[in-house]
A and B are shown apart, each in its own frame.
Chain A
């Protein structure tokens, strides 16, 4: 079956750096998305990776290793507003989007 694994919950300190990991086992691979979802709100797009390597976008970076079935989202200079759930999603060989359950990130002062 298809599976995406993310830690359920992580805690970090304001101003610090946190890395949220995502491992996937899917039938084929056609890209990986990261979304942010604040409590009670809709998910919003953060990043897209289809080739190996690091994509940097301001305080957020996303890394992909296709051979390892692995991605991570790196958040720098954490702010309280970064408290949210972070969802990893993979496009499989049928171009269907498979979602992970999300990682709830708690930021402490």
Chain B
């Protein structure tokens, strides 16, 4: 079934630990995105990639890193987790970077992360 998968579904993590959230899509979309969603704040962009081999910083990139070695995978790494990174993390993709008709974002099911 075409779409985006994320792993893990949820995780409880001790502060200071390193964690990688996985994201894989099989739609051959060029652009991929990582968001965090916190109550009352809406979706905030962490990092994005318009095509394999390139990445860019979003609104809230500090404490996070990404890589885009191929079209399908876009992992997000927390080098040393802090409690303020407790959130729901969504990965998304679009056929191309930027906006436009037919370029709506497809979202993965999300990862609920708690940092203690």
Which residues of A pack against B, CB within 8 Å? 4, 8, 30-31, 33, 35, 41-45, 48, 50, 87, 89, 91, 95-97, 99-102
CA distance A104 to B40 in the complex (A): 10
Task: State A10–B58 Cα separation when bound (angstroms).
Answer: 30
> Which chain A positions have C-beta within 8 A of B104?
33, 45, 48
**Contact in complex: A50, B101 (CB < 8 Å):** yes
Residues of A within 8 A of B40 (CB): 8, 101
**B contact residues vs A (CB 8 Å cutoff):** 40-45, 58, 90, 97-101, 104-110
Complex contact B43–A48 (CB within 8 A): no
User: Which B residues touch A35, using CB under 8 A?
Assistant: 105
Chain B positions within 8 Å of A99 at CB level: 42-44
Interchain CB contact under 8 A, A91 and B109: no
In the bound complex, do residue A31 and residue B99 qualify as a contact, i.e. CB atoms below 8 Å apart? yes
Query: Which of B42, B58, B90, B105 interacts with A101 by CB under 8 Å?
Result: B42
A89 to B42: give the CA distance in the assembly, Å: 10
